[in-house]
């Protein structure tokens, strides 16, 4: 499903003294199949944007009684927002938002904090049941099959964990179980807000590996929100930088991190490999490589071979 957002603006607590503009005329396309990274300073609007994509935050025009606004004489109204996710038009209040949520799953930051059921099996099944049509609830066999598949997809053994309390799992297992509870509906788009937050380097690598395997086999499009530039550089095919509710760059990471000065000026970091390339460039040695350690070493060796 292709995601198209145009002129998206969102203000929390609109019309009150606590009004906070979180998105300001955001226009961004995310192609199907992308492993897309969203980065930006804290408070730049990343979470607000992704919550629009499955209707957790509704556009005013898709709410039940949108305020009709007519242009006053001489006034130019802002362009109407566009938000489409595949065939779903999120500006249309008649859109089936439950069907949308089945196709667009969001894993929030620290998702393990939302585990609640008595067993892992029940927790993972919860998502499936809550999205099912009231008239056609899945059978016990269907539920078991779906839960088994989802747990296997996140690298957990059904036999080992299904009957356990989620609270008896290790930290890494809990996060996997929570992700299983989102992918159990087989979403086409999987969004994860800071999927590696709070994990040690090994845990981060494992999450990256898991997301790649889900991207290959389970969800066509993966979108991650991250503060971790190495995570974006090593995993994403495309990236967008948010600043003060606006989209500042949309570029493949390899191109994005060439804007090192601007990113550092925005208070963002750059990946380690980009820093090394920058240091070498200052000494007159230009290295152009993908931003993995492996890519860097290969590019340096190739350069040495030329010399």
Considering the complex, what minimum distance in angstroms separates the CB of residue 154 from ligand ATP? 24
Return residues touching ligand ATP (CB under 6 A).
Answer: 12-13, 20, 22, 40, 42-48
Q: Which of 47, 91, 95, 173 binds Mg ion (CB under 5 A)?
A: 47
Binding mask 201-220 for Mg ion (x = CB under 5 A): --------------------
Q: Which is nearer to Mg ion, 47 or 54 (CB)?
A: 47
DSSP 54: T
List of E strands, 189-261: 189-193, 221-225, 238-243, 246-251
Footprint of Mg ion on residues 135-164 (CB under 5 A)? Answer: none
* Span interacting with Mg ion, options 44-52, 113-121, 167-175, 268-276, rule CB under 5 A: 44-52
Considering the complex, what minimum distance in angstroms separates the CB of residue 195 from Mg ion? 12
51 binds Mg ion (CB under 5 A): no
45 binds, among ligand ATP, Mg ion, none (CB under 5 to 8 A by kind): ligand ATP
33 binds, among Mg ion, ligand ATP, none (CB under 5 to 8 A by kind): none
Considering the complex, what minimum distance in angstroms separates the CB of residue 245 from ligand ATP? 7
Cα distances from 282 to residues 182, 255, 279, in angstroms, run 46, 18, 5
Considering the complex, what minimum distance in angstroms separates the CB of residue 307 from Mg ion? 45
Q: Which is nearer to ligand ATP, 44 or 54 (CB)?
A: 44
48 binds, among Mg ion, ligand ATP, none (CB under 5 to 8 A by kind): ligand ATP
List of E strands, 57-201: 82-85, 88-89, 104-107, 189-193
Q: Which two tokens stand for residue 263?
A: 């990113």
Q: Which pairs with CB-CB distance under 8 Å and at least 24 residues apart come from 44-49?
A: 44/242, 44/243, 44/244, 44/245, 45/10, 45/242, 45/244, 45/245, 45/246, 46/193, 46/225, 46/242, 47/193, 47/225, 48/10, 48/12, 48/22, 48/23, 48/245, 49/5, 49/8, 49/23, 49/242
């Amino acid at each position: 499903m292709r995601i198209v957002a145009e002129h998206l603006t969102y203000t929390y607590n609109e019309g009150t003294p606590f009004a906070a503009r979180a998105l300001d005329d955001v226009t961004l396309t995310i192609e199907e199949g992308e492993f897309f990274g969203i980065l930006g300073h804290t408070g730049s609007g990343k979470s607000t944007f992704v919550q629009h994509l499955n209707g957790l935050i509704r556009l005013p025009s898709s709410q039940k009684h949108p305020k009709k606004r007519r242009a006053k004489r001489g006034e130019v109204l802002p362009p109407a927002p566009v938000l489409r996710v595949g065939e779903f038009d999120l500006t249309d209040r008649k859109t089936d938002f439950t069907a949308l949520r089945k196709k667009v799953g969001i894993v929030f930051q620290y998702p393990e904090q939302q585990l609640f059921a008595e067993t892992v099996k029940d927790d993972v099944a919860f998502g499936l049941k809550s999205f099912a049509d009231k008239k056609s609830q899945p059978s016990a066999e269907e539920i078991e099959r779906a839960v088994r598949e989802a747990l296997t997809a996140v690298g957990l053994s059904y036999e080992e964990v299904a009957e356990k309390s989620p609270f008896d799992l290790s930290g890494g297992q809990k996060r996997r179980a929570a992700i299983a509870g989102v992918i159990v509906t087989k979403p086409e788009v999987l969004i994860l807000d800071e999927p590696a937050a709070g994990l040690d380097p090994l845990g981060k690598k494992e999450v990256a590996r898991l997301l790649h395997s889900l991207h290959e086999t389970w969800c066509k499009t993966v979108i991650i929100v991250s503060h971790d530039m190495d995570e974006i550089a090593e995993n994403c095919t495309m990236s967008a930088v948010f600043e003060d509710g606006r989209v500042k760059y949309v570029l493949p990471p390899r191109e994005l991190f060439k804007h090192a000065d601007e990113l550092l000026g925005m208070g963002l970091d750059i990946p380690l490999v980009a820093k090394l390339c920058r240091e070498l460039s200052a000494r007159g040695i230009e290295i152009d490589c993908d931003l993995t350690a492996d890519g860097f070493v290969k590019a340096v060796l190739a350069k040495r071979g030329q010399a």
